[in-house]
Amino acid sequence: MEEGSASGTAEMVCFFRALDQQWDGDTSLINDKYARLFLSPKMQERLANYADRSRRDRYRKLLMYLFDWIILRHAAIDDLVRQHGREMFVVILGAGYDSRALRLKDSMRHGVAEVDFPATGEAKQKLLKAGKLDTSHIRFEKADLIRKPLADILSDLGLKGKKALVIWEGVTMYVPQLVVERTIHTIATELAPGSILVADYYNEAGRTGVSVEIVKAKTEQFSKTFKSEPILFMSAPAKLEALGIAQGAKRVTTRTASGIAAAAKRDDFTDTGMFALAEFEF
């Protein structure tokens, strides 16, 4: 992940959430009324161009249902925050333009920290201030996530030996496997038993009607478009479980897009098999 300007990927994900709220309103799985606050004027204009809900299905197909996965993964992680945020601190690594600290404030009884590169964090805080939003309950931790060890970040947050729910969303596919291993190991050794890490990953074992080569090429095309990185890490449920256990997790479970949609009783989302969500329990 490159530093120096606010993340283009962060705005892309934010745009998807704003689209979902615009199209589905109160029936949206996440109903993110804050998402449009973080969009640039150019993206605000684009959002207005998609106001007609009849464009929803065509847009989803055009984006190879990446939109579907991002909305579903947000909904699933939101559920984990509601479930565990009342009993442990919440850490959002690479927070980008995440709005959970605003949307799910009542579920974060033990506090929340957003950790991100200085440029992205500063850009976000300016927008929050301009929107006159109360952020007194949020701890903003600016850190170079490439150079500063996660153990030091957790220590700075006063979390060493304590329980926490760590959210690592939209990152694993862009980092080497060693970074994934070190992140899991650090949480296993630095935080208290009962802690949880949730992270999505590129599922190389996913069933899809599109060839793996086309899916990977298309995904990397999206990455370049939004100034992100090429795919570096892929795994499969069984492989990721073994990796997690080897690094200190007690249990690793995977959720697919179709599983999340079924639990939410929604049949208007498509699962291409490209991505999955892993929950590591320590």
The number of helix segments (H) and strand segments (E) in the chain equals 11, 8
Band (30; pLDDT cuts 50, 70, 90):
very high
Note the pLDDT tens digit of each residue in 118-143: 888 898 999 999 999 999 999 999 99
pLDDT over 80 (residue 222): no
pLDDT over 90 (residue 277): yes
Overall average pLDDT of the 246-262 stretch: 97
d(CA 219, CA 234): 13
Was domain 8-281 assigned CATH 2.70.70.10? Answer: no
Average confidence score pLDDT of the chain: 91
User: What three-state secondary structure class fits 54?
Assistant: helix
Q: What is the pLDDT of residue 4?
A: 41
Rg of the chain taking only CA atoms, in angstroms: 18
Structural domain boundaries in the chain: 8-281
pTM of this structure: 0.92
Q: Say if CB 197 and CB 187 are below 8 A apart.
A: yes
d(CA 168, CA 185): 14
Q: What is the pLDDT of residue 6?
A: 47
pLDDT over 80 (residue 266): yes
Q: Say if CB 85 and CB 109 are below 8 A apart.
A: yes
Band (146; pLDDT cuts 50, 70, 90):
confident
